[in-house]
Structure 1
């Protein structure tokens, strides 16, 4: 089924018309209550699925996608994505940059309490960045986003300065993205990753929900923080159920056991279209899927090999069949929702089996013995392809496997549980080929995923190193003028499309499955809506 790719537009697939809802926070007290049409209703609880056990610390090396969904409502950052996706106040009320762009000053919100009653102050901000993020020995998740940060200086209890090695225009945007502040009084004085009580049992945050109960392999239950600085949340309780199988997630949504989540299996739309109790909302998102070829492996350092792989995979066919048309073939990391920066006027890689074989031949890989597998210097081109169990990733990997076999690559699939994939592929960098995705703030700064200094331990998963690309992306970071910045990133996109640090697959549209009675959810991608979960309510 052909779908129209829409930029910055949301639409609803449902037999119901979405009722008008108010995003205003009610000032009424806690307890069950019903309001007039358009008023938020107090009380009730919802359930959200995640695929694996979370780690309750944004910066922990194991805290990736599943953890982020939970941590986003336990903790808060200095900024958050606004409903227009521009950086908006959270723990910081205002901020400004120095004339040379090397110092950013943030004025912090006063009167904020941690869940245990302690005061939030500038010391917590300094601790988070100086002691967790900038300590390279800790290998903090997300630290590669902050390579230009020298230190955070406490000016007074409610003012901090971010001192940079070089100007960084996207700092407020990155502070809104998986950069929550951690409590110094809970994590200082030892290895923060060894603090099992905090990281795996009883986290203490400043967010709208706080820990109630956690049963590994089953669920995480959070109750509302009545002292939340934005006002008391409407929903009494939010439970994250650990449900790794996407079919089970859909079944539990139909049976009213789950209330909102991102549909990873797009083919499930047909199963829910007949339900009067569910809605599917499609949103553009700053995300791209990719294949990483480990650059420590000499076979993958030749750009012709990476180009051959890209030509060998029928990406449009996967978008049409697996994604049901909810996506667009990718040409680089800058996503189409960033209209001021995105360009598709770059080198293209249409599906072409013969061209893929020709490029492999030019790189020295030919089937010399007629066994169907290309070889070089007597060594057949055999790859172990790691894939995590989540949504339709395994199905996609099977298709990629078949496409590569067709051009003479012997591909063995290695299917991993999500957290095992994080440990093996991301932390240990033990892989040959892997498939995953990047999400990032709605800003074209992708240095963390490509900078040479982030190879090996940071977000540069392939370990790709290129001085020219480093220079372009750092220039983009330092440029604040929108037109000049757009020109820099256009050049960077052209260069990345030629060199292929990653094999770019597609830009997905996100499909959110929602309980039709769940109201107050902003019209944006799921990760951003969670920053406003205190406004959500059930209208039943």
Structure 2
């Protein structure tokens, strides 16, 4: 099969970003020289539209990528295990109570000490923000602060996911959380703080001299949104940027041949998926959703567009995620698709739409073209809707769509983050509601025994897969391209490249 044409995204931003799509300008500190005054120049493939990790963008990968160097969490996942960060330790004195002992030597970037009141306020802000992560904490009945460095979380039902959920809770100063202006240049306890932010274009981080951990080897990190793949590739070759990631596989071979660059590829918790709005006809019928899956030759598309970019998915969760389990595969079967459409009352097909955000996904536009072409062969006419990310996210959360294409990451490494957060009926994320699935997911969330949790998530994954709540074609490999002088970068499977420990040699 010939390579499908790569229809690159819009949003060229020529005036703001220069001819290659990412000129950092003469006033920007350039990388190189090994100086502690150097700034790492990063070209991110997806725009950062908000720096508020407590509301609508609390699970947004671009937001989390930038802010992981700014805000810290009580818990982190290291080599698949949960370990303390801002917490020193935790206990589970009874099935409904978790107690955390907090570090006493931590200050925010403005010099004020971090206390349990800040942690409580941060958790409450996440819950009150009613964003994508709020559902993880639905069982919480009380957050207590017995003293300045002790936090208790009480739940109405057992919640075995509290530590893994806390790996995503940014800790911010309680006094600032109600000030919208704070999120224009937020700070936390992390090694960096935000010095300036232009939504959809750039984020500037500078060193936090009050950080109590290891001091950053960089003076700052400069993020620019560069939508054009060609712009990022040229900028890497021309030493206009130091780092980029999420490049399509057809670009990586040439970059690997460049002696000035290092290409790092690694498995991740991320996957590609296409959701159907199961609350909107014709996708209220599982047979229609299944027909959409059978109608597409994903094997052919994957070999053409995604060579070395990932592996065919075996379930709705990537294999490295705790709780994932292999399911029975859907094959390419247009005749089966037509049969299912006829049984559902659509013998002549139907017309619908599919939306995605500009720059959302590796080879996203070409992938959409290929699926739309195959769907047309069985009578399904799909109108593409490529949207700016803020518009896409707003419509996504309002369920104002027929189907949507995106990539996502189970950033905690725990199945609950994706399965329960996205597929519980109460989540209202994709219009799908199934009482049996709800029962299984809630039981898994409450279960303390990890082996039993894994079995329950395997059952839940089978329902999501068999009911074709979405199509899950690909588990994604990550890639980061760095100039040779970028040292100390360690890939992580959570699909959030972290540059806090990087230096420039």
TM-score, normalised to structure 1, is 0.82
Query: Could you tell me whether the CA contact under 8 Å between 1:58 and 1:141 is conserved in 2?
Result: no
- Give distance in 2, aligned partners of 1:223 and 1:134: 29
Are 2:329 and 1:348 aligned?
yes
2:126 aligns with one of 115, 123, 133: 133
Aligned length: 468
Query: Could you tell me whether the CA contact under 8 Å between 2:120 and 2:143 is conserved in 1?
Result: yes
Query: Could you tell me whether the CA contact under 8 Å between 1:86 and 1:173 is conserved in 2?
Result: no
SS, match of residue 120 in structure 2: helix
Query: Could you tell me whether the CA contact under 8 Å between 1:33 and 1:42 is conserved in 2?
Result: no
- Give distance in 2, aligned partners of 1:175 and 1:126: 12
Aligned CA distance change for structure 1 residues 72 and 95 (closer, same or farther; 3 Å): same
1:512 is matched with: 480
Are 2:189 and 1:198 aligned?
no
1:6 is matched with: none
2:255 is matched with: 272
Aligned CA distance change for structure 1 residues 442 and 62 (closer, same or farther; 3 Å): closer
Write out aligned runs for 1:2-401 (5 A): 42-50=36-44, 51-62=46-57, 64-82=60-78, 84-100=79-95, 102-130=96-124, 132-135=125-128, 138-177=129-168, 179-188=169-178, 195=180, 197-199=181-183, 201-216=184-199, 218-338=201-321, 341-344=323-326, 346-367=327-348, 374=349, 381-390=350-359, 391-401=362-372
1:429 is matched with: 399
2:489 is matched with: 521
Deviation at 1:536, TM superposition (A): 1.7
SS, match of residue 535 in structure 1: coil
- Give distance in 1, aligned partners of 2:174 and 2:262: 41
- Give distance in 2, aligned partners of 1:33 and 1:389: 35
- Give distance in 1, aligned partners of 2:260 and 2:233: 13
- Give distance in 2, aligned partners of 1:61 and 1:493: 26
Deviation per CA, 1:226-245: give whole Å up to 9, x if none: 22121211111110112122
Q: Structure 1: state its 5+ residue gaps.
A: 2-31, 35-40, 368-373, 375-380, 456-460
Query: Could you tell me whether the CA contact under 8 Å between 2:278 and 2:285 is conserved in 1?
Result: no
- Give distance in 1, aligned partners of 2:167 and 2:483: 27
Q: Structure 2: state its 5+ residue gaps.
A: 2-31
Deviation per CA, 1:14-40: give whole Å up to 9, x if none: xxxxxxxxxxxxxxxxxx996xxxxxx
Aligned CA distance change for structure 1 residues 311 and 77 (closer, same or farther; 3 Å): same
Aligned CA distance change for structure 1 residues 412 and 53 (closer, same or farther; 3 Å): same
- Give distance in 2, aligned partners of 1:432 and 1:528: 28
- Give distance in 2, aligned partners of 1:88 and 1:172: 9
Query: Could you tell me whether the CA contact under 8 Å between 2:50 and 2:199 is conserved in 1?
Result: no
TM-score, normalised to structure 2, is 0.87
SS, match of residue 239 in structure 1: strand
Query: Could you tell me whether the CA contact under 8 Å between 1:62 and 1:419 is conserved in 2?
Result: no
Could you say what the CA RMSD is over the residues aligned between the two structures, in angstroms? 2.2
Query: Could you tell me whether the CA contact under 8 Å between 1:387 and 1:397 is conserved in 2?
Result: no
- Give distance in 1, aligned partners of 2:384 and 2:56: 25
- Give distance in 2, aligned partners of 1:134 and 1:341: 25
Deviation per CA, 1:176-206: give whole Å up to 9, x if none: 13x2122211123xxx5xx1x222x221221
